[in-house]
Structure 1
Amino acid sequence: MDIIGYIASIFIGISLGLIGGGGSILTVPVLVYLFGLDALLATAYSLFIVGSTSVVGSFSYFKKGLVNIKTAIIFGIPSIVAVFLTRTYVVPAIPEEVFSIAAFTVTKNILLMLLFAVLMIFASYSMIKKCKGEDCLPTDTPTAGTLLIVIQGIFVGFVTGLIGAGGGFLIIPALVNLLRLEFKKAIGTSLVIIALNSLFGFAISVTHYTIDWIFLFKILALAITGVLIGSYLSKKIDGKKLKPAFGWFVLLMGIYIIIKETLLN
């Protein structure tokens, strides 16, 4: 399974470079299901891997002018605060055994994976649904006020801190649907936000775990290779075509995780 895991690590980077998200959606399942890591440790590793690859992936978008700095700041600051509070107070407060239903016990690890999957399914809807009329036109003119954007940033930070997801699958729909950013500009901005949130979250977590740095840097090297491939492919693929494909991918992964953690556990 390790070989499959290493191959999948390349696709973590490809998804980040190509669509600005999805890396964390791949990272946590790869670490848990292919490498056999504890889900909580996998969330910490995911923060480092996704954050570092997002830094690399954002460079090409900066060069093309496809990063909205103002949006990254408005969205990013409340996200970072939420990451800190979640990793420091919320995650440690979750009991190892949350509750039991008949013979099925929901542990802390299972709960985190199920929350992860449910959020993926909800996020996929906004990416798959077809827009109509003027809604299809990205204008870079926000349709939401600053307060709503800040609230969205707090929510993304909470998700990042709780389940180790960079939040690209939540950030991109917010940037496209609330802020009316063109899809590829949303990708570039998303990568910056993901990098800030994820690396900050890992910095908070690093003292709580014994980190296998050699393993972590192997995965990171493969993911960075993937993000360079993804960034190259993004030049040749229409952003409008990426949006629904990304949504279907997120939906299928969410359904798989729910089945794996409940029926197949």
Structure 2
Amino acid sequence: MTVLLAIVAGALIGLSLGALGGGGSILAVPVLVYGLGQTAAQATTGSLVVVGATALIGAVTARRAGNALLGRGLAFGAVATGGAVVGARASASVPDAVLLASFAALLVVVASLMVVREVRGRRAGASTARPLRVAVDDPILTFSPTFACQCPRALKVLVTATVVGLLTGFLGVGGGFLVVPALVLALGLPMRQAAGTSLVVIAVTSAVAFTVRVGAGVAPDWTLVLLLTGAAVLFGHAGARLATRVSTAHLQAAFTTLLVLVAGYSAWQSVPALMAI
């Protein structure tokens, strides 16, 4: 039964990642804790494997399609590694109840943001959307022929990358919901390239955070994690095909509903444990 649940959960995560380009990996921790009986430390560590592996494969695919800027992704990821190290180390010093409550709070925030976006999208309609003007080749820092710095943009990158790293290290999530807007607003990438490049960032930060956690002696249940990861990767291809046959709006609405349910259940489970500390 446990093996079947891991495969089904991995399939749902993969379908979401393949169809929507992200979001599904945030479900890995609740699945590992509430469905597969892992501790919070094990789950947030194992989630990094699911997140990192799916992001890496997605980044390779996006790179081949010309939708991932490797250099910018690696640079953003390098900035985020400091936060990832701090977050991974901090996670080892807090009780499981605090980790789960923090994760539940994050789920509630993300679910709320997605609901708001759904409502606004339906009210505005696709016809009112305006293309974002970008300047992909406009650098933040230049050293030749003279030094120049677009410091406001540099600060956005630094702050966002650090927050993404902290979330990845502490809670075992990819943070794509922060990376993509940052790449659009701070680096001026088109949405399609931002989504692809964000996978490079997530792969880097996940690898760093996982290395720190394993070095601190936290080990996931490898059988469950590999089953979850394998199913996610395999069904990611099915999700990509599904996206060509089903409306993205319908897929997004279905995922939002699922995320709201998971967020509510996680909060319901974590609050009593937190109060008992």
TM-score range, shorter chain: 0.7 to 0.9
Which residue of structure 1 aligns with residue 239 of structure 2?
230
Which residue of structure 2 aligns with residue 109 of structure 1?
96
Which residue of structure 1 aligns with residue 153 of structure 2?
145
- 1:122 correspondence with 2:106: no
Q: What is the aligned-residue identity percentage?
A: 30
Q: Give the deviation of 1:28 after TM superposition.
A: 0.5
Q: Give the deviation of 1:205 after TM superposition.
A: 1.6
Query: Does the aligned pair in 2 maintain the 1:169–1:250 contact within 8 Å?
Result: no
Distance 2:106 2:26 in 1: 11
Which residue of structure 2 aligns with residue 199 of structure 1?
207
**Deviation larger for 150-159 or 119-128:** 119-128
Distance 2:24 2:93 in 1: 27
Q: TM-score, normalised by structure 1?
A: 0.79
Q: How many residues align?
A: 251
Query: Does the aligned pair in 2 maintain the 1:44–1:202 contact within 8 Å?
Result: yes
Query: Does the aligned pair in 2 maintain the 1:20–1:190 contact within 8 Å?
Result: no
Which residue of structure 2 aligns with residue 93 of structure 1?
93
Query: Does the aligned pair in 2 maintain the 1:74–1:149 contact within 8 Å?
Result: no
Which residue of structure 2 aligns with residue 55 of structure 1?
56
Which residue of structure 2 aligns with residue 154 of structure 1?
162
Distance 1:163 1:22 in 2: 14
**Deviation larger for 243-252 or 73-82:** 243-252
Query: Does the aligned pair in 2 maintain the 1:160–1:166 contact within 8 Å?
Result: yes
Distance 2:247 2:187 in 1: 20
Q: Give the deviation of 1:225 after TM superposition.
A: 0.5
Distance 2:72 2:108 in 1: 25
Distance 2:236 2:245 in 1: 15
Query: Does the aligned pair in 1 maintain the 2:42–2:221 contact within 8 Å?
Result: no
Q: Classify 1:125/1:211 alpha carbon distance in 2 versus 1 (closer, same or farther; 3 Å).
A: closer
Query: Does the aligned pair in 2 maintain the 1:6–1:222 contact within 8 Å?
Result: yes
Query: Does the aligned pair in 2 maintain the 1:139–1:181 contact within 8 Å?
Result: no
Q: Give the deviation of 1:168 after TM superposition.
A: 2.1
Query: Does the aligned pair in 2 maintain the 1:74–1:150 contact within 8 Å?
Result: no
Which residue of structure 2 aligns with residue 219 of structure 1?
228
Distance 2:265 2:37 in 1: 17
Distance 2:72 2:251 in 1: 22
**Deviation larger for 242-251 or 219-228:** 242-251
Q: Classify 1:179/1:260 alpha carbon distance in 2 versus 1 (closer, same or farther; 3 Å).
A: farther
**Deviation larger for 68-77 or 238-247:** 238-247
Q: Give the deviation of 1:159 after TM superposition.
A: 0.6
Alpha-carbon deviations, 1:58-116, whole Å to 9, x = none? 2221122111335423431221121112213x22332xxxxxxxxxxxxx222212212
Which residue of structure 2 aligns with residue 99 of structure 1?
none
Q: Give the deviation of 1:216 after TM superposition.
A: 2.8
**Deviation larger for 212-221 or 132-141:** 132-141
Alpha-carbon deviations, 1:193-226, whole Å to 9, x = none? 1111112211222241344433332222112102
Which residue of structure 1 aligns with residue 6 of structure 2?
5
Measured on the aligned residues, the alpha-carbon RMSD in Å equals 3.2
Q: TM-score, normalised by structure 2?
A: 0.76
Query: Does the aligned pair in 2 maintain the 1:57–1:228 contact within 8 Å?
Result: no
Distance 1:32 1:230 in 2: 25
Distance 2:153 2:104 in 1: 29
Could you say which structure has the larger radius of gyration?
2
**Deviation larger for 194-203 or 183-192:** 183-192
Q: Give the deviation of 1:232 after TM superposition.
A: 3.3
Q: Classify 1:69/1:210 alpha carbon distance in 2 versus 1 (closer, same or farther; 3 Å).
A: closer
Q: Classify 1:146/1:245 alpha carbon distance in 2 versus 1 (closer, same or farther; 3 Å).
A: farther
**Deviation larger for 78-87 or 214-223:** 214-223
Q: Secondary structure at the match of 1:21?
A: coil
Output the amino acid matched with 1:139.
R
